[in-house]
C-alpha cells in the first residue's frame, strides 16, 4: 500500500470472529447442535438448519437442504456479533428449533483459492504490546477485539503481552481483571517486570512529568528481553502491534524478522504533530509558553499545550516511521484534514516516507468493561430525566488537591444541575498533581461537610470507578466533564455528548485545543495561572452547557451529528471498517512474506 492510500482504496476479504470460548467454535461447514452434540438426521422427524452468513455460503449449500423433505432451512442475512454467546431465541422463533448450524467465515468476495487447506491449517498469532497505564491498555484491548471481529476463527489468534507496571495502581489492576474475565478469546501473557534500579534507601524525591515519562520509557525498553522470549516461545506469532511508546520493541521485531505496526491510541491530528516533532527545531520548544506553533492539519498550538517530556518524546517519534504501518484510533470524518495530511506525507521531511496510516476508530464498543448492568450508578441514572445529568470523570489518574475538590463541589452545588462525579484516590495522581485528600474510601472525608446531604437526589458521588461508556450512553447523560484523554474523548463523541474540557497532563492540553477549536465539540473550562479552576467557573460552564442558549443548542447539535458519523465509520462498509480490512490484508501478506 502506498503512503497515500487510505480507507476505501482497496477491496479486502472479510473474516468474522468466532463465538466466545464458552461456546462451540464452528468452522466452515461445521455441524453443531445447540447443546454441542451430534445430530442424527434420520432419527429426527424434522431438522432445522441455520445458514449464516447465507451470502457467503451461497446456493451450493442451500439447494441440497431445500430438496430434503426432512429439513427446514433458516437463512440469517443480517450481521451477527459472533464475539458474544448467542442469546436463546424465543420459543416461537424458527431458530429455537435449530438442530444444525452451518457457519462460513468467508466473505462474498472470497474465493476457494483464498481458503486453501494450507492456509486454513496454519493460524497466525498477532501479539499486541500495550504500554503502561489504563489509557494505553484499554484501547489496545478494543483493538484486540476488533481483530477477532474481522479475522478470528480459523485464521487468527490474538495475544496481549503485558508488562507489570512499576506501581500496580488500582485502575490498571481492575482493568486487567475485567479484561481477563470478559475477553476469553484473547490470550494474556504477563511479562516479568524488569529489575528495579538501585536505590539509596531514602524516599525518592517527587518527579516532574518529564522525569516520570523518561523513567516510563526506560521501563518499557527494559521489557524487550522478556518480550523477545515470549515471541520465541510462540511459533505462530507472526506480527507485532506496538503501543506508540514501545518504539524500542522495533528492535525485537527486526531481530525476529516479523512485521511490526504501531497503534497510536490518540487521534490523527495528534499523530500529525507527533510525526512532525523531530524535524521541528529544538529552539522552538525552548520558546515562551505562549509562543504559537503551527503543524500540518492541526490547529495552532502554544508551546504550553505540548506534552511534557519532549526530549524523550522526540526519540520515540523519530522511530515511528520505521514501522510497516500505523493504526489510529479515530475516524476520517472527525479529522479529515489531518488524515489527508498524513496520507499525502506532509508531516515528515521529504526524504522520509510516511508508512500507511489506517484510521480504524472509534474503537469504542458497549459492554467492553463488564459489570455495567449491576452498577449502582446506572440504577440511579434510571431515575433521572433525559439528558439532565452532567458526568464528571477525569481518567485513571485524575486525582485533585483538597482545595480543587472543594471548588468542584461548590460549583456543582451552586449550579443546581444534576451530576454524577467519580473521585480518584491520591495513589493514582500523576506527577505534579499535588496532594489530594485520601480519606481511605470515606467520601465524606474528601468532600465539603454536608455536601452529599445538600445535593441528595440530584447528585451522586462515586469512589474510584464507574462504567464510563455505559454512563455516557445512558439516556439521562447530558454533558461530560472530561480530562480530554483520547479514550474518554472518543467515548463522549460516540455518545453524542458536549464536552467540558479540563485537561490535566500529557497530551490532554493539545486535545483540548482540537476538541474546542477544530472539532467544535466542546467548551474550555478556564484555569488560573496555577492550574486551579474556581467554583464560579465550574458553575458558569455547567449552567451554560446545560442551558438553552443558541450556542449551547448548536453545540449539542454538532455533538449529535458526530455521534452519527462515529457509528457510520465502524459499520459494515464504513471507512474505518474498510481501513481495518486493508490493514489486515497487508498484515497477512507480510506474514506470508509476499512483500
pLDDT above 90 for 425: no
Q: If you search the block for the grid coordinates 520548544, which residue do you land on?
A: 285
Q: What is the pLDDT of residue 424?
A: 81
Over residues 563-576, the mean pLDDT reads 97
Count the neighbouring beta carbons within 10 Å of the beta carbon of residue 544.
Answer: 17
Dihedral over Cα of 491, 493, 495, 501: its sign: positive
Longest dimension (CA), the chain: 83
Confidence of residue 412 (pLDDT cuts 50, 70, 90): very high
Q: What is the pLDDT of residue 370?
A: 46
Confidence of residue 87 (pLDDT cuts 50, 70, 90): very low
Q: What is the pLDDT of residue 70?
A: 45
Beta strand pairing call for 418-423 and 459-463: parallel
Residues 6+ apart with CB under 8 A from 101: 26, 30, 31, 32, 49, 50, 52
pTM: 0.76
Taking the C-alpha atoms of residue 491 and residue 448, their distance in angstroms, rounded to an integer, is 30
Confidence of residue 335 (pLDDT cuts 50, 70, 90): very high
Q: Contact, 478 vs 495, CB < 8 A?
A: no
User: Which cell numbers hold the place of 233?
Assistant: 516461545
Sketch out the chain's domains with CATH numbers. Answer: 17-104 (no CATH), 117-196+209-268+322-359+575-591 (3.40.50.2000), 372-547 (3.40.50.2000)
User: Which cell numbers hold the place of 438?
Assistant: 485520601
Q: What is the mean pLDDT of the chain?
A: 78
24-38, 178-192, 495-509, 568-582: range with lowest mean pLDDT? 24-38
Q: What is the pLDDT of residue 66?
A: 42
358-383 per-position pLDDT tens digit:
999 999 876 544 444 578 999 999 99
Which among 363, 391, 359 has a CA at the least distance from the CA of 378? 391
β-partners of residue 573 are none
277-323 per-position pLDDT tens digit:
888 765 566 566 677 888 887 778 887 787 767 777 888 999 999 99
- Residue with the larger pLDDT of the pair 279 and 101: 279
Which among 487, 539, 505, 536 has a CA at the least distance from the CA of 398? 505
pLDDT above 90 for 96: no
Q: Contact, 256 vs 326, CB < 8 A?
A: no
User: Which cell numbers hold the place of 327?
Assistant: 493504526
Q: What is the pLDDT of residue 582?
A: 97
pLDDT above 80 for 466: yes
Q: What is the pLDDT of residue 170?
A: 58
475-532 per-position pLDDT tens digit:
999 999 999 999 999 999 999 999 999 999 878 999 999 999 999 999 999 999 888 9
Radius of gyration of the chain (CA): 25
Residue 445 DSSP SS3: helix
Taking the C-alpha atoms of residue 354 and residue 148, their distance in angstroms, rounded to an integer, is 27
User: Which cell numbers hold the place of 326?
Assistant: 500505523
Residues 6+ apart with CB under 8 A from 582: 1, 5, 7, 9, 10, 12, 356, 358
Residue 367 DSSP SS3: coil
Q: If you search the block for the grid coordinates 472518543, which residue do you land on?
A: 490
Beta strand pairing call for 389-393 and 47-52: unpaired
Taking the C-alpha atoms of residue 269 and residue 273, their distance in angstroms, rounded to an integer, is 6
Amino acid at each position: 500500500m502506498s503512503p497515500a492510500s487510505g480507507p476505501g482504496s482497496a477491496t479486502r476479504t472479510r473474516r468474522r470472529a468466532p463465538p466466545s470460548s464458552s461456546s462451540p467454535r464452528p468452522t466452515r461447514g461445521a455441524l453443531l447442535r445447540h447443546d454441542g452434540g451430534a445430530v442424527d438426521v434420520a432419527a429426527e422427524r424434522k431438522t432445522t438448519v441455520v445458514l449464516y452468513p447465507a451470502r457467503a455460503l451461497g446456493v451450493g449449500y442451500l439447494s441440497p437442504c431445500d430438496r430434503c423433505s426432512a429439513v427446514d432451512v433458516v437463512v440469517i442475512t443480517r450481521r451477527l456479533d459472533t464475539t458474544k454467546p448467542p442469546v436463546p431465541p424465543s420459543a416461537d422463533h424458527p431458530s429455537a428449533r435449530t438442530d444444525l448450524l452451518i457457519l462460513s467465515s468467508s466473505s462474498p468476495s472470497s474465493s476457494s483459492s483464498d481458503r486453501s487447506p494450507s492456509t486454513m491449517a496454519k493460524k497466525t498469532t498477532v501479539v499486541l504490546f500495550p504500554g503502561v497505564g489504563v489509557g494505553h491498555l484499554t484501547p489496545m484491548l478494543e483493538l484486540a477485539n476488533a481483530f477477532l471481529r474481522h479475522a478470528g476463527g480459523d485464521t487468527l489468534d490474538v495475544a496481549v503481552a503485558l508488562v507489570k507496571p512499576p506501581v500496580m495502581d488500582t485502575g490498571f489492576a481492575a482493568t486487567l481483571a475485567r479484561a481477563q474475565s470478559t475477553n476469553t478469546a484473547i490470550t494474556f501473557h504477563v511479562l516479568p517486570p524488569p529489575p528495579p534500579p538501585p536505590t539509596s534507601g531514602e524516599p525518592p524525591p517527587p518527579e516532574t512529568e518529564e522525569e516520570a515519562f523518561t523513567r516510563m520509557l526506560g521501563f518499557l525498553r527494559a521489557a524487550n528481553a522478556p518480550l523477545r522470549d515470549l515471541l520465541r516461545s510462540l511459533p505462530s506469532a507472526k506480527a507485532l502491534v506496538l503501543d506508540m511508546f514501545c518504539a524500542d520493541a522495533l528492535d525485537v521485531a527486526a531481530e525476529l524478522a516479523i512485521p511490526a505496526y504501531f497503534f497510536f491510541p490518540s487521534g490523527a491530528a495528534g499523530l500529525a504533530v507527533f510525526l512532525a516533532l523531530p524535524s521541528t527545531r529544538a529552539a522552538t520548544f525552548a520558546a515562551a509558553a505562549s509562543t504559537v506553533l503551527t503543524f500540518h492539519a492541526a490547529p495552532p498550538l502554544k508551546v504550553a499545550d505540548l506534552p511534557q517530556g519532549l526530549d524523550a518524546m522526540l526519540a520515540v517519534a523519530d522511530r515511528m516511521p520505521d514501522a510497516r504501518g500505523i493504526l489510529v484510533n479515530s475516524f476520517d470524518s472527525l479529522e479529515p484534514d489531518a488524515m489527508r495530511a498524513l496520507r499525502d506525507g506532509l508531516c515528515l521531511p521529504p526524504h522520509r516516507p510516511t508508512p500507511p496510516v489506517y484510521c480504524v476508530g472509534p474503537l469504542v464498543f458497549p459492554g467492553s468493561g463488564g459489570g455495567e448492568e449491576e452498577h449502582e450508578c446506572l440504577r440511579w441514572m434510571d431515575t433521572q430525566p433525559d439528558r439532565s445529568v452532567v458526568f464528571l470523570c477525569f481518567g485513571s489518574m485524575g486525582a485533585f488537591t483538597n482545595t480543587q475538590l472543594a471548588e468542584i463541589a461548590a460549583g456543582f452545588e451552586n449550579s443546581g444541575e444534576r451530576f454524577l462525579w467519580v473521585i480518584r484516590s491520591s495513589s493514582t495522581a500523576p506527577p505534579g498533581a499535588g496532594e489530594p485528600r485520601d480519606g481511605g474510601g470515606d467520601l465524606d472525608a474528601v468532600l465539603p461537610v454536608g455536601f452529599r446531604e445538600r445535593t441528595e437526589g440530584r447528585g451522586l458521588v462515586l469512589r474510584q470507578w464507574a462504567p464510563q461508556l455505559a454512563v455516557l450512553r445512558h439516556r439521562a447523560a447530558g454533558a461530560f466533564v472530561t480530562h480530554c484523554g483520547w479514550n474518554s474523548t472518543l467515548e463522549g463523541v460516540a455518545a453524542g455528548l458536549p464536552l467540558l474540557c479540563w485537561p490535566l497532563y500529557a497530551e490532554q492540553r493539545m486535545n483540548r485545543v482540537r476538541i474546542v477549536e477544530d472539532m467544535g465539540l466542546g467548551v474550555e473550562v478556564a484555569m488560573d495561572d496555577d492550574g486551579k479552576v474556581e467554583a464560579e467557573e465550574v458553575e458558569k460552564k455547567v449552567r451554560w452547557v446545560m442551558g438553552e442558549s443558541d450556542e449551547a443548542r448548536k453545540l449539542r447539535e454538532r455533538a449529535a451529528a458526530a455521534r452519527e458519523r462515529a457509528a457510520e465509520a465502524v459499520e459494515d462498509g464504513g471507512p474505518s471498517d474498510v481501513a481495518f480490512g486493508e490493514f489486515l490484508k497487508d498484515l497477512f501478506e507480510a506474514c506470508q512474506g509476499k512483500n
